[in-house]
């Protein structure tokens, strides 16, 4: 969010009302080309962490065709679009098999959604409805890691579920299992764990949390939105995947009742595609919306949306079929290979290892690091990298930076490392110069530092909220 807020485009080209006569194709195409080429952070050169989960140009062309063939389709009318219904069911079936290393439960169930956030909020809703129906819970509560995705907070806000955050202490930065145990009470409707989480790329201790879920009879959601087809293919790609030893992080753990998997992240499907899996149909049915006596006719819809884009289901289905297991193993090798190179270099390079440290022991595509000895401000590194055209993600509590490797960023890992070394060397030089002149060290003043660097008081958070509100308003300025 600390990114550029500049609203671009020459004034003369503002379109504030419908053209009297429709434009011809050429004009629209030219305009679209201009819009695509507006000055932007160069994800194409691999300088943007996460964000663009690109599977290559050939795949992109095929997706565009698949979307085109189904652009009028809508799964709310399965009789009109039987192909879309079939593809959605097959995506769910494939996701169960992939996520459970082909040991999925016979009666596993699921739905596709518009993205990770919808998958997570539907899982929270289903857990709330289940507890209300089966246990009479009217004041629902959830227990989630402090590092869990913002979507859980959104669900808590939308569905009035009280949220308890558990800390994720150093050195492993996994959710504290004793804290979860202490917070469980009769109103607890859902536990959650990440595989891995967004900030640090750390996978929580899912076997242990599953034991708690089973002991207390509470559903457990595993957020594998980001992990998606990377985590699923770690072992087959030759990388450590310790959870395989303990029976996986998925439905093979008896306490796990739902899993969210984003096909629009590391499955490389077009944006607007995620899968929410349930251990069996009895969990899934609690997210359904049924309205038998609507004046518009008996109505049933599986998730938040009514009409849904069948085109994106076709895009996701075609992507899974095109990539195949071999394709995902190949992409996992490239992406996690780059992440491992980044991690190893930080741990061994003389400049890097003395000034920055890795957060926890990440296994997949996200590596987070932080300033090691307080000599350098973490946000100074973030801002200096930014000035060199990198778009890494600044994190807070604790201050840190992460890079989510993707196909484009994997190719740029050597440049990323050499820039990081140069940036840290420059910051150290500046500190030396100031010391020699007897000047006081100054607080960082770049944009990351301005946004996050002032400490976490309530007043500061209010200021950040105000800034964020203004940011959202700006998005709608024509």
Ligand X SMILES: *Cc1c(COP(=O)(O)O)cnc(C)c1O
HSE-CB at 412 with a 13 A cutoff on CA atoms is 23
CA 57 to chain centre: 23
Contact letters (x/-) for ligand X, 249-288, by CB under 6 A? -------------x-----------x--------------
DSSP sequence for 128-191: HHHHHHHH--SS-EEEEETTS-HHHHHHHHHHT-EEEEE---TTTT---HHHHHHH--TTEEEE
Q: Quick one: 53 or 81, whose CB is closer to ligand X?
A: 53
Total binding residues for ligand X by CB under 6 A?
A: 14
Among 142, 209, 226, 259, binds ligand X (CB under 6 A): 226
**Does the protein bind ligand X through residue 365 (CB under 6 A)?**
no
Q: Using the rule CB under 6 A, is 402 a contact of ligand X?
A: no
x-marked contacts with ligand X along 147-186 as a string, rule CB under 6 A: --x-x-----------------------------------
Return the number of the residue (63 or 345) whose C-beta is nearest ligand X: 63
Residue from 49, 74, 188, 194 touching ligand X (CB under 6 A): that is 194
Binding ligand X by CB under 6 A: which of 46, 115, 201, 362? 115
- Asked if 368 touches ligand X (CB under 6 A), the answer is no
Radius of gyration of the chain (CA): 24
Inter-residue contact 446 to 452 (CB < 8 Å)? no
209, 175 Cβ separation under 8 angstroms = yes
Q: Name the helix (H) or strand (E) containing 220.
A: strand 220-224
Structure tokens at 59: 């795949």
Compute the least distance from the CB of residue 148 to ligand X, in Å. 8
- 381 sits near ligand X (criterion: CB under 6 A): no
Q: What is the DSSP letter of 103?
A: -
453 part of the interface to ligand X, by CB under 6 A: no
Shortest distance (Å) from residue 50 CB to ligand X: 8
Please work out, in degrees rounded to the nearest 5, the angle formed at the alpha carbon of residue 70 by the alpha carbons of 67 and 71. Answer: 75
Residue 226 Cβ, how far from ligand X at the closest point, in Å? 3
Alpha-carbon gap, residue 159 to 162, rounded angstroms? 9
Of positions 49, 63, 100, 197, contacts ligand X by CB under 6 A? 197
Residues within the interface to ligand X (CB under 6 A) = 115-117, 120, 149, 151, 194, 197-198, 223, 225-226, 262, 274
């Amino acid at each position: 969010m600390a990114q550029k807020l500049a609203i671009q485009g020459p004034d003369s080209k503002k379109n504030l009302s419908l053209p009297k006569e429709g434009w011809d194709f050429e004009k629209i195409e030219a305009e679209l080309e201009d819009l695509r080429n507006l000055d932007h952070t160069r994800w194409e050169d691999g300088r943007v962490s996460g964000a663009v989960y690109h599977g290559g140009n050939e795949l992109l062309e095929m997706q565009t065709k698949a979307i085109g063939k189904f652009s009028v389709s809508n799964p709310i009318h399965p009789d009109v679009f039987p192909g879309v219904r079939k593809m959605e069911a097959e995506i769910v079936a494939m996701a169960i098999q992939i996520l459970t290393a082909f040991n999925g439960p016979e009666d596993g169930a699921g739905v596709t959604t518009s993205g990770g956030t919808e998958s997570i909020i539907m899982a929270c809703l289903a857990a709330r409805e289940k507890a209300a129906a089966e246990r009479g819970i009217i004041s629902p509560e959830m227990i989630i890691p402090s590092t869990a995705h913002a979507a859980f907070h959104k669900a808590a806000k939308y569905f009035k579920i009280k949220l308890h955050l558990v800390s994720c202490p150093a050195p492993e930065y996994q959710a504290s299992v004793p804290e979860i145990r202490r917070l469980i009470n009769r109103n607890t409707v859902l536990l959650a764990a990440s595989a891995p989480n967004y900030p640090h790329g750390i996978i929580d201790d899912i076997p242990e949390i599953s034991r708690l879920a089973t002991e207390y009879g509470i559903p457990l959601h595993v957020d594998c939105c980001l992990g998606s087809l990377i985590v699923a293919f770690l072992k087959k790609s030759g990388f450590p995947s310790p959870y395989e030893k303990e029976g996986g992080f998925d439905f093979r753990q008896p306490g796990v009742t739902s899993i969210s998997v984003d096909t629009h992240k590391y499955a490389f499907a077009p944006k607007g595609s995620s899968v929410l899996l349930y251990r069996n149909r009895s969990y899934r049915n609690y997210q359904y919306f049924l309205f038998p006596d609507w004046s518009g006719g008996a109505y049933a819809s599986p998730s938040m949306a009514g009409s849904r884009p069948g085109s994106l289901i076709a895009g996701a289905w075609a992507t899974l079929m095109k990539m195949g297991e071999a394709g995902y193993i190949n992409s996992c090798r490239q992406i996690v290979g780059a992440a491992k190179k980044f991690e190893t270099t930080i741990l061994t390079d003389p400049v890097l290892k003395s000034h920055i440290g890795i957060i926890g022991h990440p296994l997949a595509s996200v590596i987070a690091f932080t300033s090691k000895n307080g000599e350098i401000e973490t946000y100074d590194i973030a801002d200096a990298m930014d000035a060199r055209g990198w778009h890494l993600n600044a994190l807070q509590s604790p201050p840190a930076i992460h890079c989510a490797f993707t196909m484009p960023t994997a190719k740029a890992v050597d440049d990323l490392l050499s820039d990081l070394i140069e940036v840290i060397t420059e910051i150290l030089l500046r500190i030396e110069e100031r010391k020699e002149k007897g000047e006081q060290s100054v607080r960082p003043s770049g944009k990351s530092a301005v946004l996050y660097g002032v400490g976490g008081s309530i007043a500061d958070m209010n200021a950040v909220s105000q800034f964020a509100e203004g940011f959202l308003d700006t998005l709608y300025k024509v």
